[in-house]
């Protein structure tokens, strides 16, 4: 099952990118999180026929990708998958909405076509914004930012544990499915006969591991929260970055 | 069923975030009274387990296609609905951030559609209903299948409502529904079978791991208030979203006014009414339940679009120049 | 002074499938002195890991008495005992649950309320003891098996421990990493109780050995005495250490270790 290896590689790649020494990576994670959220809110608030405004919103991700030397190749595959889903939802717009909007010579762009195009652009830009966040902030720094905005400690701790053990379990699942494939040639996935025993065994081993992790945490004084990264101060550049982009988004929206 | 950001409006996203937030707050309150320090590592490790098993292809016999596991029902059956729900939130957050599976804004919707229905409807209502008088293989199987099917049907229904309420698609409600429900019925059946297979294995190997196993009947009884809460929450969200399709025809009061006065509104003249009206205009953040629509200077004209494209190209060029200068100065 | 005092300890697993009960430890008594290194050996399933978990309070004592660093092992003393006892688990992935090496080693000091400067000092001291200072910012999933084991030891050394418990520390290590681990373990000043099937490792790191028998009792002695006694080892499901076995084979006439 090759897609598991690809998922592991993607995780490694995203993590590497987030730990590099670019200026974007050095910004405070809270600044990046806030800007991303505001960007998304403003982006999706554009009415369905507002092509110009939505196109201008592309300034943010494109500028950051270029100036931040962020790897765009990691995003493309994800963008395609999201675009497919968004396409399915908006596909019927051109056939239902015939409101004439823009005339180019004898050709009329209808409302349906415009709204479909706008939807696709929004889909693309939203994915880019989310990916930029992940490519420029490690999970630990993001969790620190989440705590700053009062996301409960329980959730953040669970999030960090899932992230830590995700690769361990992906490797286990990869080995398990490879071992299965070597003894069941020609089969694409797991046969129904082994659904229960294979996944059940993995579940029981997971619970045993969880108990050991709990023991390990307790022995080292665990009180219910992970005390994360050495706290990073918010600098003037972080404020400038945050307010600058938010002002830009709001101006675009209100124009 | 992961919704992308482009498929929701800020209002719908905000509403579902609020609903999911309330459910998460309730779940947090409930598990804090239990052994939370012990639960956290189990939630974390099992969350990673569910995440990893979501990548496995389960071959569906006789069809040549494969199904996948979401895991909400399974997590609830092991951890309990509250801990299961919180774990699902964390899983969805990582999927959203690391794999762009589901948008950040749409996260509230995804948590509700997959987490809430999976854990509270499937994992609490259905599971407890079946197991209240003891466990058996048949009960585990049927609870898993019915729980998964029901939660996925509700989830798909909610996705339809949320997308339509956001004004994203022109597809009529019935048509959209006729796409979504049958597909998710099939998905729900497959997930139910996978969940049943796994839980049956656990029941045979270590039954005490299953939520509620070995407890007194009294302890297992479903509190009326909690059941009412879960059903009420579903009704509120679904009903609330449905209300976005409210008829433009006058309601009862307005109809009465129309018959009596010839208008659906009464004229309000005089100092107090005027002052109140002006104050409302100033204060109302969402007049008529939407963001204040600013008239666009560029509108949807061709000139506006070309102008936007030009600005974009200019920004790209400037950025590339800055980057080039930066690299050259480093060398 | 004794760091560990076990007196008449018995333990049984209740509530096994089918309502069974399995007695694992039976009237165990032995001691570990300050700074001493003791090997804990025995066949699979005799209760080595169970004993280690009882010492640090992960399992409740059912019968008998245990005193660790002058404190009786009971619920009221658990927090203090756990600050003085370190446990290096067999599976390093279960021990290393933070994202980076630094964060993992800093976990205990932070939880015990040390200030950030003190945490930093404790972390760097622990990492330098195991030779991992250069890898402090590395993600845990990128570490090799040997590096994970050293990082696991560092997580325990971050707090000043009187007794270190090690459960199968050499599992999965290649020869080079194993030799490095021997060097690191021998350089530690705290008392150590090392549970392992790797009898050569026990020979290289421990002065005394405690053998857990199938009956749940102990036979204690010096490492040389116990690990030379082929009959004793074989009757308890073990064999001579490989080094001794090899030497016996190449020098069968003299059999210098009889």
Task: Report CA-CA distances (Å) from C97 to A162, B36, C150.
Answer: 10, 18, 15
Task: Copy the structure tokens of residue B183.
Answer: 């597909």
Q: How far is the alpha carbon of A124 from chain C, nearest alpha carbon, in Å?
A: 31
- For B42-61, b/e burial (b = at least 16 CB within 10 A) is bbbbbbbbbbbbbbbbbbbe
Q: What is the pLDDT along chain C (258 residues), one digit of tens a residue?
A: 799 999 999 999 886 666 678 888 989 999 999 999 999 999 998 999 999 999 988 899 999 999 999 999 988 888 889 888 999 999 898 899 888 899 999 999 988 888 889 999 999 999 999 999 999 989 888 899 899 999 999 999 998 899 999 999 999 888 998 999 999 999 999 999 999 999 999 999 999 999 999 888 889 999 988 988 888 898 888 888 887 776 766 665 554 444
Name every chain A residue with its beta carbon within 8 A of the beta carbon of C108: 220-221
Residue A147, in any domain of the structure: no
Q: Per residue in B110-143, pLDDT tens? A: 999 999 999 999 888 899 889 988 899 999 999 9
| Binary contact (C85, A163; C-beta < 8 A) | no
The average confidence (pLDDT) of chain B is 79
Number of compact structural domains in chain A: 2
Domain assignment of residue A164, yes or no: yes
pLDDT at position A41? 92
C80 touches chain A (CB under 8 A): no
* A216–C89 C-beta distance less than 8 A: yes
Report the run of H or E that residue C33 belongs to, with start and end: strand C20-33
Q: Which domain holds residue C28?
A: 2-250
Question: Nearest Cβ partner of A195 from B194, B299, B305?
Answer: B194
Give residue for tokens 């100036």.
A67
Nearest to A220 among C91, C93, C108 (CB): C108
A143, part of any domain: no
Interchain contact B208–A (C-beta under 8 A): no
Strand partners, B59: B66
Q: How far apart, in Å, are the Cα atoms of B14 and each of B9, B22, C46, C210, C230?
A: 8, 12, 58, 64, 73
Nearby residues of B14 by Cβ (< 8 Å), 6 or more positions away? B108
Residue A205 lies in a domain: yes
State whether A59 and A14 are in the same domain: yes
Answer whether residue A144 is part of any domain: no
Kind of pairing between the strands at C218-222 and C208-212: antiparallel
pLDDT band at A8 (very low <50, low <70, confident <90, very high): confident
Question: Are A214 and B103 in contact (CB < 8 Å)?
Answer: no
DSSP string of C125-192, one letter each residue: HHHHHHT-GGGTTSBGGGS-HHHHHHHHHHHHHTS--SEEEEESTTTT--HHHHHHHHHHHHH--SEE
Residues of B in contact with A97 (CB under 8 A): 170
Please state the rounded mean pLDDT for residues A61-73: 82
Residue B295 at interface with chain A, using a CB cutoff of 8 Å: no
A240 touches chain B (CB under 8 A): no
- A166 lies in the same domain as A242: no
First to last CA, chain A: 50
Q: Name the pTM for this structure.
A: 0.82
Whether B291 shows a pLDDT value over 50: the answer reads no
**Same structural domain, A56 and A100:** yes
Query: Is C103 within 8 Å of A228 when comparing Cβ atoms?
Result: yes
Residue in A22, A57, A203, A225 to test binding to B, most B beta-carbons within 10 Å: A203
- Count Cβ–Cβ pairs < 8 Å, chain A vs chain B: 313
Report if residue C257 sits inside a domain: no
Are C190 and C164 a contacting pair, CB within 8 Å? yes
pLDDT of C66: 93
Q: What is the CA radius of gyration of chain C?
A: 19
Q: Does B9 touch chain A (CB under 8 A)?
A: yes
> Would you call A56 and B320 a contact, using CB atoms and an 8 Å cutoff?
no
Interface contact flag, B58 A195, Cβ < 8 Å: yes
In a domain, C255, yes or no: no
Closest CB from A19, A164, A223 relative to C97: A164
Chains that touch B (3 or more CB pairs under 8 A): A
CB contact under 8 Å between A168 and C93, yes or no, is yes
> Are C99 and A213 within 8 A, CB to CB?
no
Query: Is C97 part of the contact surface with chain A (CB cutoff 8 Å)?
Result: yes
Longest CA pairwise span in chain C (Å): 63
Question: A56 and A162, same structural domain?
Answer: no
Residues A135-171: tens digit of each pLDDT? 888 888 888 888 888 888 889 999 999 999 998 899 8
Which of A164, A212, A220 lies at the smallest CB-CB distance from C111? A220
Phi, psi of B13 (to 5 degrees): -60, -45
CA distance B20 to B113: 9
Per the structure, how many domains does chain C have? 1
Q: Looking at residue C75, which CATH number applies to its domain? A: 3.40.50.300
Asked if A209 and C94 come within 8 Å (Cβ–Cβ), the reply is yes
Spatial contact of C239 and C233, defined as CB atoms under 8 Å apart = yes
Cα separation, C108 vs C106, whole angstroms? 6
Two structure tokens written together for C18: 């089918």
C87 close contact with A: CB closer than 8 A: yes
Kindly state the average pLDDT of the residues B156-167. 88
Q: Which residue has the tokens 């987490």?
A: B115
Least confident residue range of B227-241, B267-281, B289-303: B289-303
Spatial separation of the C-alpha atoms in residues C192 and C182, rounded to whole Å: 13
Pair C87, C192: CB distance under 8 Å: no
Determine the distance in angstroms separating the CA of A148 from the nearest CA of chain B, rounded to an integer. 17
Helix, strand, or coil (residue C23): strand
- B164: alpha, beta or left, given left = phi > 0 and alpha = psi -120 to 50? alpha
The answer to whether the beta carbons of residues B71 and B53 sit under 8 Å apart is yes
Q: Identify whether A142 is part of a domain.
A: no
The residue written with tokens 């600013």 in the block is B294
SS (H, E, C) chain B: CCCCHHHCCHHHHHHHHHHHHHHHHHHHHHHHCCCHHHHHHHHHHHHHHHHHHCCCCEECCCCCCEECCCCHHHHHHHHCHHHHHHHHHHHHHHHHHHHCCCCCCCHHHHHHHHHHHHHHHHHHHHHHHHHCCCCCHHHHHHHHHHHHHHHHHHHHHHHHHHHHHCCCCCCCHHHHHHHHHHHHHHHHHHHHHHHHHHHHHHHHHCHHHCCCCCCCHHHHCCCHHHHHHHHHHHHHHHHHHHHHHCCCCCCHHHHHHHHHHCCCCCCCCCHHHHHHHHHHHHHCCCHHHCCCCCCCCCCCCHHHHHHHHHHHHHHHHHHHHHHHHHHHHHC
**A73 part of a folded domain:** yes
In a domain, C258, yes or no: no
pLDDT of amino acid A96: 78
Question: Which chain B residue has its CA at the smallest distance from A65's CA?
Answer: B319
Query: What pLDDT score does B301 carry?
Result: 59
Q: What is the pLDDT of residue C258?
A: 45
- By residue range, what is the domain housing residue A235? 2-137+230-254
């Amino acid at each position: 099952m090759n897609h598991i290896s690809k998922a592991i590689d993607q995780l490694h790649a995203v993590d590497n990118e987030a730990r590099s020494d670019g200026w974007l990576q050095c910004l405070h994670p809270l600044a990046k999180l806030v800007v991303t959220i505001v960007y998304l809110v403003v982006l999706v608030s554009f009415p369905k026929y507002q092509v110009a405004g939505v196109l201008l919103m592309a300034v943010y991700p494109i500028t950051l990708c270029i100036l931040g030397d962020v790897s765009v190749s990691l995003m493309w595959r994800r963008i395609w998958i999201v675009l497919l889903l968004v396409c399915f939802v908006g596909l019927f717009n051109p056939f239902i909405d015939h409101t004439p909007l823009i005339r180019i010579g004898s050709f009329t762009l209808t409302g349906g076509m415009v709204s479909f195009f706008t939807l696709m652009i929004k889909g693309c830009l939203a994915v880019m914004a989310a990916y930029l966040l992940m490519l420029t902030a490690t999970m630990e720094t993001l969790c620190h930012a989440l705590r700053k905005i009062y996301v409960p400690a329980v959730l953040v701790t669970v999030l960090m544990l899932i992230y830590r053990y995700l690769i361990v379990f992906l490797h286990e699942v990869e080995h398990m499915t490879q071992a299965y494939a070597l003894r069941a040639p020609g089969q694409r996935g797991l046969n129904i006969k082994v659904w229960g025993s294979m996944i059940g065994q993995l579940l029981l081993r997971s619970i045993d591991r969880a108990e050991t992790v709990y023991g390990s945490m307790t022995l080292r004084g665990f009180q219910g929260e992970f005390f994360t990264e050495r706290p990073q101060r918010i600098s003037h550049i972080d404020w400038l970055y945050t307010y600058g982009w938010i002002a830009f988004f709001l101006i675009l929206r209100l124009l | 069923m992961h919704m992308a950001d482009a498929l929701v409006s800020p209002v719908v996203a905000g509403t579902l975030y609020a609903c999911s937030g309330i459910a998460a707050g309730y779940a947090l309150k409930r598990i804090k009274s239990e052994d939370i320090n012990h639960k956290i590592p189990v939630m974390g490790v099992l969350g990673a387990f569910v995440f990893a098993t979501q990548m496995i292809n389960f071959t569906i016999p006789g069809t040549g296609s494969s199904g996948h596991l979401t895991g909400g029902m399974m997590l609830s059956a092991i951890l309990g609905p509250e801990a299961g729900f919180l774990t699902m939130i964390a899983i969805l957050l990582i999927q959203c951030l690391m794999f762009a599976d589901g948008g950040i804004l749409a996260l509230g919707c995804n948590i509700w559609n997959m987490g809430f229905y999976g854990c509270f409807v499937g994992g609490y209502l259905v599971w407890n209903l079946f197991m209240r008088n003891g466990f058996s293989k048949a009960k585990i199987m049927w609870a898993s299948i019915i729980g998964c099917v029901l939660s996925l049907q509700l989830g798909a229904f909610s996705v339809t409502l949320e997308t339509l309420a956001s004004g994203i698609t022109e597809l009529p409600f019935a048509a959209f529904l006729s796409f979504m429900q049958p597909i998710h019925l099939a998905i729900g059946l497959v997930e139910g079978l996978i969940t049943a297979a796994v839980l049956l294995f656990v029941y045979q190997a270590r039954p005490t791991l299953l939520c509620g196993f070995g407890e007194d009947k009294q302890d297992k009884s479903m509190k009326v208030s909690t059941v009412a809460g879960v059903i009420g929450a579903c009704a509120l969200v679904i009903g609330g979203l449905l209300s976005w399709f409210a008829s433009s025809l006058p309601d009862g009061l307005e109809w009465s006014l129309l018959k009596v006065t010839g208008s659906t509104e009464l004229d309000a003249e005089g100092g107090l009414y005027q002052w109140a009206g002006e104050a409302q205009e100033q204060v109302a953040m969402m007049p008529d339940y939407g963001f204040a629509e600013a008239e666009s200077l560029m509108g949807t004209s061709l000139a506006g679009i070309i102008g936007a494209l030009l600005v974009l190209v200019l920004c790209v060029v400037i950025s590339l120049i800055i980057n080039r200068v930066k690299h050259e100065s480093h060398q | 002074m004794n760091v560990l005092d076990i007196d008449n300890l018995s333990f049984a697993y209740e509530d096994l499938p089918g309502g069974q009960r399995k007695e694992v430890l039976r009237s165990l008594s032995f001691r570990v002195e300050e700074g001493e290194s003791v090997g804990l050996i025995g066949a699979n399933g005799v209760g080595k890991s169970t004993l280690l978990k009882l010492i640090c309070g992960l399992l409740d004592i059912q019968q008998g008495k245990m005193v660790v660093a002058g404190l009786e092992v009971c619920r009221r003393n658990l927090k203090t005992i756990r600050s003085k006892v370190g446990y290096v688990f067999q599976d390093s992935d279960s021990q290393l649950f933070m994202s980076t090496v630094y964060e993992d080693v800093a976990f205990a000091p932070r939880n015990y309320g040390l200030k950030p400067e003190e945490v930093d000092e404790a972390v760097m001291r622990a990492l330098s003891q195991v030779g991992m200072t250069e890898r402090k910012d590395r993600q845990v999933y990128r570490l090799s098996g040997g590096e994970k084991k050293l990082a696991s030891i560092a997580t325990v050394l971050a707090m000043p421990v009187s007794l270190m418990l090690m459960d199968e520390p050499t599992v999965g290590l290649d020869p080079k990493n194993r030799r490095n681990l021997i060097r690191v373990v021998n350089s530690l000043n705290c008392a150590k109780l090392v549970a392992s099937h790797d009898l050569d490792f026990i020979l290289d790191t421990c002065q005394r050995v405690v053998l857990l028998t199938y009956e749940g009792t102990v036979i204690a002695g010096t490492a040389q005495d116990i690990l030379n006694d082929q009959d004793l080892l074989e009757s308890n499901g073990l064999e001579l250490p490989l080094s001794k076995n090899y030497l016996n084979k190449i020098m069968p006439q003299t059999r210098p270790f009889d």
